[in-house]
Amino acid sequence: MAMLTINNLEVYYGIIQAIKGVSFEVNEGEVIALIGANGAGKTTILHTITGLISPKAGSIEFEGHDLTKIPAHNIVSLGMAHVPEGRRIFQELSVFENLKLGAYTRKDKNEISETLEKVYQRFPRLKERKNQIAGTLSGGEQQMLAMGRALMSHPKIILMDEPSMGLSPLFVSEIFDIIKEISDNGTTVLLVEQNAKKALSIANRAYVLETGKIVLEGDADEMMNNDSVKKAYLGE
C-alpha cells in the first residue's frame, strides 16, 4: 500500500501549466528519486505536496489524508518534512535554535531531547557548532542543518529538494551517505535531484520528469542502464 499517492496532478502559474497530469506513488520505506532538467517541474511538485502551492486538479493522498484540503502548516504534524531547495535555514539563529524550531509541532520535551541527541550523533559537526550562528556555516554544513531540522519533527517521510546543489564533491558524497542512512533507519525519502547518477545510486525507484510530465519510470538500476537516461542525465 502506497504511503503517498499523487494522482493526475495539474498545476498552473497563471496561464502557464507547469505540471501536466502527473501521477506517481511512494511506498513506505522507499527512496524515490524524481529526476529531470532544470525547470522540469520537480520543485513545483514538492511545493504542491507540502501545500505551498495549490493544484488546479488532481489529488495528493498521504496515509489516507487528502493533502490538498489541509493547510501547509498542518501537514508537518501528519509526519511529513520538507528540506527545501537552497536550504532555507534561519540564518541569524544558532544551529541549536534552528534544530529546536524543527520540533515545534511536538510537545514531549523528553522525546525532543532524544531526537536532538540522535541528530547530533548523525551530524557530529552540528553538535560541535551548536552555538554558532547558522549563516556562518559552510554550504555543506547548512545542508546538514536543514536535514537535521527536518528530522527533528520525527517525520515518516522526508522530501528533499536538490540536497547536493552547490556543494563540493566531498560534501555531495557525505550528504548522499546520510540520505541512505536516514532511509535505512526507516524514514521514507522522496528525493528531487539534478545529480541523477548520485540519486539513482541510492534510490529504489525513479521517475523522470520532462516539461511537467513523467516520461519514464522504473527501478533505479534499470534507469541507470537506460540509454536515453544515460544520454540526457548521466552525461554518457
**What pTM was computed for the model?**
0.90
Which residues are within 8 A (CB) of 22 and not within 5 positions of it... i.e. 6 or more apart?
6, 8, 9, 41, 45, 58, 209, 212, 213, 214
Mean pLDDT of all residues in 12-25: 93
103-111: Cβ within 8 A, 24+ apart = 103/152, 103/153, 103/154, 104/153, 105/76, 105/77, 105/153, 106/152, 106/153, 106/154, 111/154
**What homologous superfamily does CATH list for 1-79+157-162+189-236?**
P-loop containing nucleotide triphosphate hydrolases (3.40.50.300)
- When pLDDT is cut at 50, 70 and 90, the band that residue 8 belongs to is very high
pLDDT in tens, 80-124: 998 888 778 887 888 888 998 887 777 788 887 888 888 888 888
So what's the pLDDT on residue 56? 94
Check: CB of residue 80 under 8 Å from CB of residue 157: yes
| Rounded Cα gap, residues 203 and 206, in angstroms | 7
**Domain spans of the chain?**
1-79+157-162+189-236
List the grid coordinates of 144: 546538514
pLDDT in tens, 173-223: 888 988 998 899 899 999 998 888 889 999 999 999 999 999 999 999 998
So what's the pLDDT on residue 235? 67
| Rounded Cα gap, residues 219 and 236, in angstroms | 19
pLDDT in tens, 121-136: 888 888 888 888 988 8
Check: CB of residue 47 under 8 Å from CB of residue 207: no
* pLDDT of 24 above 90: yes
pLDDT in tens, 40-79: 899 999 999 999 999 999 999 999 999 999 988 889 889 9
